[in-house]
Amino acid sequence: MKSKVGIVGLGWFGSFHLDQLLTMDDVEVVALCTANTERIEKAHEKVPHAKCFSHHKEMIEEMDLDAIYICVTPSRHEDIELLAAKKGIAMYIEKPIGLCLDEVKNIELAISTSKLIHSVGYQERYSALVGVIQNWLKEETPVSIRGKWIDTMPDAPWWRQMHLSGGQVVEQATHIIDMMRYLFGEMEIIQSLGVKGYIKQPNYDVVDASLSLLYFPRGMIGTLECGCYLDKNQASDIGIEIQGVSSKLVYHWQQQVVITKGETEEIYTQTESSHYRSSRRFIEAVKQQNQSLILSNYSDASKTLASTMRINEIMEVKKKEEL
């Protein structure tokens, strides 16, 4: 029997998930939801049999869904998760899960009480490369970690406004923070410094670049370096570097892991989409009604959100002209 799935939000990620779900023989996308008429018409061309809605409440109340993919922008979660939990619908929720920790706590309680199958889109936890890192850590003593998300400015207008996206740390580098937490446990955020003034655009108020100092259990130290200032001619620099006592590991995001020890170098390449692995695991969990298959639940995602928002809270922001 096919799992009946609905999608709320048909921006880049909603459309991405739709395309992946359409490759799964045991999934039927039966409902699409967005207020953007152009996007829903485009999506409907791919699944003509799906019913279209302009508001999530109507879709959740009317449709008999096994699962729902929630792919809205950070400030637009509203009551989607609460309504889905009340209806008993399994949820795949794209990160970040919100911008208000009090609202997130209410949703966390509703999901926990309902005992519904759910997953949050920290897809890199499902990458085969994470197993390579974990095996390396069994043999190595890590001392310091450096997380990086240096990239160009995303095209989406909402991303450029703090009250809509939460800024780069909350919206993008949340993946790096989440992976650090997954590998090394909860972190203490010692200090954070940001700078503005490199990018001059209308309706833009996120930080251009930031650097945060972190402390992990067992005395491990780390940094998180973020930037959205690169021009289109430069390649992004996204990933994690871990320096151990006898070797070094570099995780190039969604590409490969490179382990260097003396003059020896080992390279492990990612061969399968971690997004697909994450989504596929969610569908399997729904079919089996087995939450243990999920590596990124809502409660854990709320801790990642709290860490990223804490960085924003303590970040001292300077203007480029002051330096």
Q: State the sign of the Cα–Cα–Cα–Cα dihedral 86, 89, 90, 94.
A: negative
- Give pLDDT, residue 321: 76
- Give pLDDT, residue 201: 87
Q: Which of 92, 121, 150 is the last residue of a domain?
A: 121
Percentage of residues of the chain with pLDDT beyond 70:
99
Q: Which of 102, 121, 140 is the last residue of a domain?
A: 121
Q: What is the pLDDT of residues 211-262, one digit of tens each?
A: 999 999 989 999 999 999 999 999 999 999 999 999 999 999 999 999 999 9
For the chain, the residue count is: 323
Give the pLDDT mean for 79-92.
Answer: 98
Alpha helices in the chain (DSSP H): 12-21, 37-46, 56-62, 80-87, 101-114, 128-139, 162-165, 167-171, 174-184, 274-288, 298-314
Do 188 and 75 share a structural domain? no
Do 258 and 180 share a structural domain? yes
Do 210 and 86 share a structural domain? no
- Give pLDDT, residue 323: 55
Residue 222: both structure tokens together: 């780390």
Residue 218: which domain range?
A: 124-274+308-322
- Give pLDDT, residue 322: 64
Q: How confident is the prediction for the chain on average, in pLDDT?
A: 97
Number of domains in the chain: 2
pLDDT at 158 over 90: yes
Do 73 and 60 share a structural domain? yes
Do 167 and 116 share a structural domain? no
- Give pLDDT, residue 36: 96
Give the pLDDT mean for 134-156.
Answer: 97
- Give pLDDT, residue 76: 95
